[in-house]
Amino acid sequence: MEKISENVYKINAGSNVYYLEKEKVLIDTGIEEYYETLKSEIDCDSIKMVIFTHLHYDHIGNFELFKNAKFYASKKEIEFFEKNPFGAILDKNLVKWFKVKLNDVSALKIFKIIETPGHTGGSICLLYKDVLFTGDTLFDCGCGRVDLPSSEPSLMKGSLEKIKKLKYKYFCPGHDY
């Protein structure tokens, strides 16, 4: 576990999982193969909220570790998932057992939620104090792919412009590339 800033930690779980210690919040849950990593690094039962930046398989694996958590995603991401579960998740097996109640993230007050469609139509970025979490919308090396089933390529540019206007100190992408 790597400390990013006061109260914010990063865990490499195939994709980046971020942990807000005080609030007991996780942002994304990584790839299934990293089950043991997450289990050993976090007190999973203490997690109260899991927020998905989007629903691709490499960000929602291991969700079942967090038995006491409520799960959140954007309304648009949830709607796409309900219409086309495989298109939203991109993994045949995970689709079969990803049975969680997803709640609308816009109800949460601890983050500023920024809707950033592009990589997926319902992708979000989250601003927590001076820390920005960007999921697969923006990495150090550029923006995420926009050729996937739930992508909305024409909206990516506007989303990146939204991000440019934000003030933040720590940049926390969904992958380190």
Task: Summarize as ranges the residues that interact with Zn ion (CB under 5 A).
Answer: 56, 136
Which amino acid is present at 121? G
Cβ distance to Zn ion smaller for residue 77 or 136: 136
* Residues 123/51, Cβ–Cβ less than 8 Å: no
Cβ distance to Zn ion smaller for residue 149 or 158: 149
Q: Output the smallest distance, CB 93 to Zn ion, in A.
A: 17
Q: Output the smallest distance, CB 56 to Zn ion, in A.
A: 4
Cβ distance to Zn ion smaller for residue 8 or 143: 143
Cβ distance to Zn ion smaller for residue 16 or 37: 16
Query: CA angle, corner 104, sides to 78 and 4, nearest 5?
Result: 100
Cβ distance to Zn ion smaller for residue 5 or 84: 84
Proportion of the chain in helix, strand, coil states, percent, rounded to 5: 30, 30, 40
Cα–Cα distance, 174 to 177 (Å, whole number): 9
Query: CA angle, corner 10, sides to 94 and 153, nearest 5?
Result: 55
Q: Output the smallest distance, CB 157 to Zn ion, in A.
A: 18
- Nearest in space to 66 (alpha carbons), one of 52, 48, 89: 48
* Residues 73/94, Cβ–Cβ less than 8 Å: no
Q: Output the smallest distance, CB 136 to Zn ion, in A.
A: 4
Q: Output the smallest distance, CB 14 to Zn ion, in A.
A: 12
